[in-house]
Structure 1
Amino acid sequence: MTSRLLMIEDDARLAQMVSAYLGQSGYEVTHAGDGESGLEQLPLLQPELVILDLMMPGIDGLEVCRRIRALPNGLSRVPVLMLTAKGDPMDRIIGLELGADDYLPKPFEPRELLARIRAVLRRRGEAGASPERTTPVLRFGSLEIDRDARMVQVRGQACDLTSYQFDLLVAMAERAGRVLTRDQIMEAVRGRELEAFDRSIDVHIGRIRNAIEDDSKEPKRILTVRGVGYVFAKQQE
Structure 2
Amino acid sequence: MPRTILVADDDPHIRQLLVFALAKAGLDTIEAEDGEAALAAVEAHAPDLVVLDINMPRMDGIEVCRRLRGLNGECGDVPILFLSSRDDEIDRVLGIELGADDYVTKPFSPREVVARIMAILRRTAGHPPVVADATAPLKHGRLMLDSDGWQASWAGAPVPLTVTEFGILRTLAAMPSKVFSREAIIDRLHGPGFAVTDRTIDSHVRNLRGKFARAGAEDVIETRAGIGYRLGACSAG
TM-score (structure 2 length as normaliser): 0.91
Q: Extract structure 1 runs of 4+ deviating beyond 3 A.
A: 213-216, 234-237
CA distance in 1, matches of 2:227, 2:3: 38
> CA 1:200 to 1:115, structure 2 compared with 1: closer, same or farther past 3 Å?
same
CA distance in 2, matches of 1:140, 1:25: 38
Is the aligned partner of 1:109 residue 2:103? Answer: no
Is the aligned partner of 1:127 residue 2:128? Answer: yes
User: How many angstroms does 1:102 deviate by?
Assistant: 0.3
Pairing 1:22-101 to 2, within 5 Å after superposition: 22-101=22-101
CA offset digits 1:145-191 (Å, max 9, x no partner) = 11111111112322121111111110110010111111111112125
List gaps (5 residues or longer) in structure 2.
Answer: none
Other structure's SS at 2:22 match = helix
CA distance in 2, matches of 1:11, 1:209: 36
2:232 alignment partner AA:
A
CA distance in 2, matches of 1:156, 1:73: 19
Other structure's SS at 1:193 match = coil
Equivalent residues, number: 235
Q: Quote the residue 2:230 is aligned against.
A: 231
User: How many angstroms does 1:236 deviate by?
Assistant: 3.7
List gaps (5 residues or longer) in structure 1.
Answer: none
User: How many angstroms does 1:43 deviate by?
Assistant: 2.2
CA distance in 1, matches of 2:105, 2:189: 21
TM-score (structure 1 length as normaliser): 0.91
1:180 alignment partner AA:
F
> CA 1:140 to 1:85, structure 2 compared with 1: closer, same or farther past 3 Å?
same
User: How many angstroms does 1:26 deviate by?
Assistant: 0.9
Contact 1:144-1:152 at 8 Å conserved across structures? yes
2:178 alignment partner AA:
R
Pairing 1:186-201 to 2, within 5 Å after superposition: 186-201=186-201
% identical aligned pairs: 35
Question: How large is the Cα RMSD of the aligned pairs?
Answer: 2.1
Is the aligned partner of 1:202 residue 2:202? Answer: yes
CA distance in 2, matches of 1:223, 1:89: 25
User: How many angstroms does 1:60 deviate by?
Assistant: 0.5
CA offset digits 1:37-96 (Å, max 9, x no partner) = 111111221111100000112211001011111111222111100001112211111110
CA distance in 2, matches of 1:84, 1:11: 12
Other structure's SS at 2:219 match = coil
User: How many angstroms does 1:132 deviate by?
Assistant: 6.9
> CA 1:101 to 1:26, structure 2 compared with 1: closer, same or farther past 3 Å?
same
